[in-house]
Amino acid sequence: MTEAACEDPDEPGPEDFVYGEEDFVLQDAGWEGDPDSQPSRFDRALLSGWSDRMARGLFRYRLGALPTRELPGAAGLVAQLNAQRGSERRPPQPVLSLRQPFDPAAFNFSRLRRGELLLRLHRAGSAAEPLLVAINASPLGRGHVLLLPEPARARPQALAAPVLRAALEAALLSAHPGFLVGFNGLGGGASVNHPHLHGLYLRRPLPAQSAPARPLRPRGPALLRGPAPAFAFFAASPAELDAVSRDVCQAAERITEAGWAYNVLATRGDPLEAAEGGRGLRVLLWARRPCFGVKASDAFNVALCELAGFLPIASEALFHSITEAEALSTIQQYLLPEDELLSLGKDLARLLEE
């Protein structure tokens, strides 16, 4: 698969995972009881491969139980202590612009070791390139993976509709209510300028999965209220994934043209309006102030997890002391003023009606 793969013939490589629509889990197992008690075929393959690679020492650190606490307050923010990620992860690449070219001399995902690759996701009957699933060597939690579209291609970190569609299908392959997929754009917390998304299992629900939303126009995104307002899209069935993927990527491109960075999160969640029926996939798109370079003074980096209300924290002292008000103050530094957000939302709605 890669040069590194050829150098390590004894390491396991990615398993082919062929799936069809019958593998999509339309109703997740729910939060009651042990969320691992009813895993899907995808969950079993991903988590067993992930645990095997942890046992082989292919991560930058061994991951034990991570202290977690919900911050007192109305926002429902969840903080988690992960000191090793703060000290052991590969330093993020410097990002200097929203359209920074790919740099072949910098680290990219064509350099992963063979053993870091877990699965090759391929939909039966599709001519699309498989989506590779690899370990995140500096994990936020058990099962934290990277979703890699065509890692051998020299492209910068940007989201395309076919890639998002494949990632949304991966989300539907899981039966876990806390499995999410997400994308950090350039200037939005991306640490490697090469196309990748994150896959992550959360152990408790976040407000973003159930917060109400207000439609901006008859067609187009709704505005999800909360600590970090997002443009929200909803797919009630696999048949809606193409349209949602196309709309999200069109909106993300318009956000970039306007000079803002963006983050995307797809998670199981309630419909955006009560009358819409059962649970499906919520796809949240944040337009936010870009952050260039490395900002070491912040309490935590603000990327897709933090915008959704999940706060990985490296400092034990900060983990125990941080308040909801302090966390919200950090997040809000990156948010658009409300008038600019509403103006952008109307522009996106008009764009998607064309």
Q: Which residues are tagged catalytic? A: 196
pLDDT tens digits, residue range 69-79? 999 999 999 99
Chain centroid to CA 101: 22
pLDDT digits (tens, 9 = 90+) for 256-274: 999 999 999 999 988 887 6
Q: What are phi and psi of 106, to 5 degrees?
A: -85, 165
CB 234 within 8 A of CB 282: yes
Q: Specify the higher pLDDT residue, 200 or 210.
A: 200
Q: Which residue has the higher pLDDT, 41 or 8?
A: 41
The CATH class for the domain spanning 13-353 reads alpha beta
**Bridge partners for 265 per DSSP:** 182, 284
Asked whether the beta carbons of 115 and 56 are under 8 A apart, the reply is yes
Q: Where are the beta strands (DSSP E) in 68-196?
A: 68-70, 78-81, 117-123, 131-135, 145-149, 179-184
**pLDDT tops 90 at residue 87:** no
Judge whether 184 and 273 are in contact, CB under 8 Å.
no
The DSSP bridge partners found for residue 68 are: 80
Can you spell out the DSSP letters for 291-331?
--S--TTSSS--SHHHHHTEEEE--HHHHHH--HHHHHHHH
Strand partners, 268: 281
pLDDT at 291 > cutoff 90: yes
Residue 91 pLDDT: 85
CA-to-CA distance for 147 and 199, rounded, in angstroms? Answer: 7
Determine the average pLDDT of the residues in 329-338: 95
pLDDT bucket at 7, cuts 50 / 70 / 90:
low
